[in-house]
């Protein structure tokens, strides 16, 4: 993933951003949003368990 981001950054600097790069970025951000939501759910469950104890 880091290599892909580095390549995209270089392409942007060179003025050569490709549709595949944009699609990859969108897919990556969507996946990270899902993971973040899962972490929030787990955190909320942990907080509720702490209160219950």
36/51 Cα distance (integer angstroms): 23
* Cβ neighbours, 10 Å, residue 29: 10
In the chain, the N- to C-terminal Cα span, in Å, equals 40
Give residue 1's pLDDT. 79
Mean pLDDT within 5-20: 89
| pTM attached to this predicted model | 0.68
Question: What gap in Å lies between CA 53 and CA 18, rounded to an integer?
Answer: 53
Q: What are the CB-based long-range contacts (under 8 Å, 24+) for 7-15?
A: none
For residues 27 and 43, the answer to whether their CB atoms sit within 8 Å is no
Instruction: Give the confidence band of 2 by pLDDT, cuts at 50, 70, 90.
Output: confident
């Amino acid at each position: 993933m880091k290599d892909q981001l580095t390549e995209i950054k270089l392409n942007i600097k060179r003025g050569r951003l490709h549709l595949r790069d944009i699609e990859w970025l969108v897919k990556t951000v969507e996946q990270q949003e899902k993971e973040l939501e899962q972490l929030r759910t787990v955190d909320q469950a942990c907080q509720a368990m702490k209160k219950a104890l």
